[in-house]
Amino acid sequence: MPLLGWLAGRTMVEFIADYDHWVAFALLAIVSVRMLWESFRPEHSPGKEVDITKGLLLITLSVATSIDALAVGLSFAFLKVNIAVASLTIGAVAFLVTTIGFLVGNRASKIIGKRAEALGGIILLAIAFRILLSHTLSGE
């Protein structure tokens, strides 16, 4: 996404910069509300389990969490940053943090169970509001 943002920044920054934070907020809010809803519903039958690692929910979550990376790529275009080094660094760190998050989340889900989904929803909602507030308070 930083690479796509960098490319966009070199061609069409004025079309994206005005509303990127609203898109990120909306996508993250939708996913987090759905996670919260699912966490408070009664236990599902085995055939109706919601898997956030597949389908439209995964795509929505991926796009929502990548909007910030797109915005960073936009700023890289203006700062004349070496996009290859920056993208490789971002990718390596994201891979490491995702792997650690997966391992910790797998163990935590066994300990806190259904509350893990509610906690994840709350965290996503907090990220959504942080994105929105950081852009609106800074006047962007």
Tally of structural domains, the chain: 1
Q: Give yes or no for a contact between 46 and 67, defined as CB atoms under 8 angstroms apart.
A: no
Per-residue model confidence as pLDDT tens digits over 55-89: 787 787 777 667 667 767 777 776 777 888 888 99
Place of tokens 């995702």: 98
Q: Give yes or no for a contact between 25 and 90, defined as CB atoms under 8 angstroms apart.
A: no
- Identify the domain containing residue 64 by its residue range: 2-137
Instruction: Extract the tokens encoding 81.
Output: 């940053």
| Residue 97 reports pLDDT greater than 80 | yes
Q: What is the pLDDT of residue 45?
A: 52
Per-residue model confidence as pLDDT tens digits over 27-61: 778 878 888 887 787 765 555 556 667 778 778 77
Q: What is the mean pLDDT of residues 89-103?
A: 89
Q: What is the pLDDT of residue 92?
A: 92
